[in-house]
A and B are shown apart, each in its own frame.
Chain A
Amino acid sequence: MEPKIRIDNIQVVYPGRGRTGPVEAVGGVSLDVADGELVCVVGPSGCGKTTLLRVLADLEQPTSGQITLRRDNPARPLKATVFQGGGIFPWMTVEQNVAYGLQLQGVSPAQRIATARHWIGEIGLERFAHAYPTQLSGGMQQRVGLARAFAFDAEVLLMDEPFGALDAQTRLLLQQTLLQQWERSSKTVMFVTHSIEEALTLGDRVCVMSARPGRLLHEVQVPFARPRDAVALRTDARFSALFAEIWGVLRTEVDRARADEVGA
């Protein structure tokens, strides 16, 4: 079967400005994601994860290479993005933010508010439905961004470190929520994170990226059965083995990225 997402040798070079030369953020990445698969991408910071996701979201033109996202249901939106940090609008209340995608699709106010309410409940912000983002903490804002993407109910979900600013407990809870939602729906998910544990907990597959320019270095099939329990997994012996395997690859890359930053 055709993959849902095909990333074909994508390269992104940011033109330099002034004294800084051009930056090659993504250096030729190829990756196929099957329909309904949840792929996690880990890599040292600054390796081009966000850039890759932006290409998938059509917000960035690749310098070379091609991407294809297959649309299966013309009635549903093709993709929804969870932005790093949430990216929610300060001028809208939590409810308006969550309903935003539906509003653009022309869903009736009553219906989109009902949907928004449901998702606000899922992320545990009922009390803040009518609050403005300035009244929320960074973690709460991230959750709103998450609810907005869920409410949009697209075929493909692109998530950029969605749980980055959350405390450990909330993070666990929301990982559970994501697992449940994903197992129930048939979404294809591209999940970017810098946490190996998170990648192993959530993913069917974990792709490890190199330091800049980002390339795919290594790939791990995650063997845990579904439905998964984010907490119980941690005690599985295979979990630590896989963790060690990925960390082994990543460590040299993190060192390289550091050396790069110091040298630059």
Chain B
Amino acid sequence: MNRNRWLSLLSPLVLLGLWELAVQIGWINRIFLPPPSEVFHTLSELIATGQIFRDTGISLLRVGLGFLLGGIPAIVVGLFMGVSPVVRALVQPLAAAIYPIPKIALLPLIIVTLGLGETSKIATIAVSVFFLVVLNVAASVLQVDPRYFEVARSFGARRRDLFWTVALPGSLPGIMNSIKLGMGFALTLIVGVEFVGADSGIGWLIWQAYELYAIDRMIAGLVVVALVGWLITVGLDELEYVLVPWQASSVRIKERRVREHVRIWWTTIRPWSYTAAMIPVLLGASIAAYDGAINWWLLLLTMIGSVAIQLGTNLINEYYDDRKGIDKVQVFGIGGAIQRGELAAWQVLLAGLLAFAVGSGIGLYLVSVTGPFIFWLGVFSVATGFFYTAGPFALAYVGLGELAVFIFMGPVIVIGSYYVQAETITLPVVLASLPVGFLVAAILHANNLRDLDIDRQFGKRTLATLLGRSGANIEYYVLVGGTYVSLIVTVALGVMPWLTLITLVTLPAAVRLMRIVAVETEPHALQPVLRQTAKLHMRFGSLLIFGWVAAWLMGSFGYI
């Protein structure tokens, strides 16, 4: 990123800082203008209660329906106007006369005819979008250079061909612009429409905040409106890129760079590693459900928090691996973006810390809901994640990686997720989390097993390099075998419902993997073991969750 872009980020931040300061010092009365921190707090409450999603969703639904109902006919009629002077003569004067009327002024008329319900809101959007788009589309057809029609005719184009090969593609850039204009217009309008006689929607939220004189809520609503508008703009730019690929403006080149950035980050965050973070969360929640406590909103938050911590761990890992020069020889390169010079080290570090911040934020919210136990669990998790590769006692480099992963991605998350729901810990939960812990450790170990020779060469100390090849093989059997042994034992003890034995269908796959490990030493031959172990974890975990959920449902229907 260049310096100017950072400067352009700086000025809003400075402004926010000054605003906060001015209120805190007392230069501005917080009753009239609450500080950013308060707005942020209000926003997080609106998110926590889910209200913001409901109101934004409803507004977007209205905009979407109105846009489709007004925009699609407008594009069709506009195209006809463009190609046919007769249609143009019929529609143009009418459209041109109605176009300049501020559409919000039509609202009372529409309410009188259609009532106060959804229909009138959608109709207002549709009508406004229609007149804006129809005229713009017609104009963009007329702007197509007449020479192109001549070229087409000289090659024998009939009327139909003229439309499909010249008029339509030639006016697509203009049509795309009309769509953007229309969408911007619809977004402006919906807020106004919802001020009047609505009982939901983002406009209503702002208006209601005004009536309650809750300025923090008003500003929070505005922030959401701005954010939604921005997201839609980005989406439409993406659509334009697909529909009008021949427009070679600098915007496109920039967009291509953005795309490249997305790709780089996508591979760096290792998206496939998140099932490992989600399965224990779902397991804990399904056990809680079995025990009669399930809150979907808290479950969602726990999931996001867990993924964020995992994300932070991956990024910090990437950063310190580069720092310590560990991944210099990447045989199977996932990650490595810093070494390839695609990302600056500090960007990765910052993103990792940001992910931890989000994870911690959610964690703190969960703490405020459920109590301090989650706080200590969270501190422990973040510390594990951070010190996994960072700091002087980097766990991964002293042979403690498996243990850390076992504890953190097994019991800790399962227990945490269960606690968030049920606000207690039980022995069954601890025991039920063991199989998952074994398997997730097996994934990491499969990785170390594959890299054993290289790691040894580069002095990276994993448990595998410490144990040597045959010891490392035994470790793999213990981890995979431990999964099934702990499962059967806990079921036999009556701790887990017998339905969880359905996970035993994965046993043949597990045996197959152990057989490969027994005979292979080559990284290329062991690469599939890593992938298959991760898959085994996912299948085993899903079936285990399925077992618990099935037991829960059967119990609640009275079969057990």
Contact = CB atoms under 8 A, between A and B. Distances in A.
Interface stretch (A16-24, A28-36, A132-140, A186-194): A132-140
Contact of A104 (B147, B150, B156, B245): B156
B246 A83 contact: no
Contacts of B157: 104
Interface string B344-357: 00000000000000
A190 B495 CA distance: 93
Q: Is the interface of B mostly helix, strand, loop or mixed?
A: helix
Nearest to A100: B155
Nearest to B166: A89
Given A89-B166, A134-B246, A80 B151 contact: no
B248 A87 contact: no
A33 B244 CA distance: 44
B150 A59 contact: yes
A88 B161 CA distance: 16
Interface residues of B, number: 21
Interface string B386-426: 00000000000000000000000000000000000000000
A132 B246 contact: yes
A134 B247 contact: yes
A94 to B, nearest CB: 11
Contacts of B152: 100, 104
Highest count of chain A CB atoms <10 Å: which of B154, B156, B166 = B154
B248 A135 contact: yes
Interface in A71-100: 77, 79-81, 83, 87-92, 100
Interface in A37-94: 57-59, 77, 79-81, 83, 87-92
Interface string B137-173: 0000000000110111111110001000110011010
A81 to B, nearest CB: 5
B522 to A, nearest CB: 41
A105 interface: yes
Contacts of B247: 134
A152 B244 CA distance: 27
Contact of A132 (B148, B161, B170, B245): B245
Highest count of chain B CB atoms <10 Å: which of A57, A88, A91, A148 = A91
Nearest to A102: B155
A89 B155 CA distance: 13
Nearest to B246: A132
Given A91-B170, A134-B246, A152-B155, A100 B165 contact: yes
Nearest to B155: A101
A134 B248 contact: yes
A79 B169 CA distance: 25
A57 B170 CA distance: 23
A83 B248 contact: no
B169 A59 contact: no
A80 B151 CA distance: 10
A152 B170 CA distance: 22
Contact of B161 (A57, A81, A104): A104
A133 B246 contact: yes
Given A132-B246, A133-B246, A105 B151 contact: no
B170 A83 contact: no
A87 B148 contact: yes
B156 A87 contact: no
A135 B253 CA distance: 12
B168 to A, nearest CB: 9
Highest count of chain A CB atoms <10 Å: which of B151, B169, B244 = B151
Highest count of chain B CB atoms <10 Å: which of A77, A88, A104, A133 = A104
Contacts of B166: 89
Contact of B155 (A80, A90, A91, A135): A80
Contact of B156 (A83, A92, A101, A135): A101
A148 B148 CA distance: 14
Contact of A58 (B148, B154, B172, B244): B154
Nearest to B249: A134
Contacts of B151: 81, 83, 87-89
Nearest to B156: A104
20 contacts: A58-B154, A77-B155, A79-B154, A80-B155, A81-B151, A83-B151, A87-B147, A87-B148, A88-B151, A89-B148, A89-B169, A91-B172, A92-B169, A100-B152, A100-B155, A104-B156, A104-B157, A104-B161, A134-B247, A152-B155
Given A88-B151, A101-B155, 9 more contacts: A81-B151, A87-B148, A89-B170, A91-B169, A92-B169, A101-B156, A104-B157, A132-B248, A152-B155
Interface of B: 147-148, 150-157, 161, 165-166, 169-170, 172, 244-248
Which 8 residue pairs of A and B lie closest in terms of their CB atoms, listed nearest first?
A: A91-B169, A134-B248, A132-B246, A101-B155, A81-B154, A87-B151, A59-B150, A91-B246
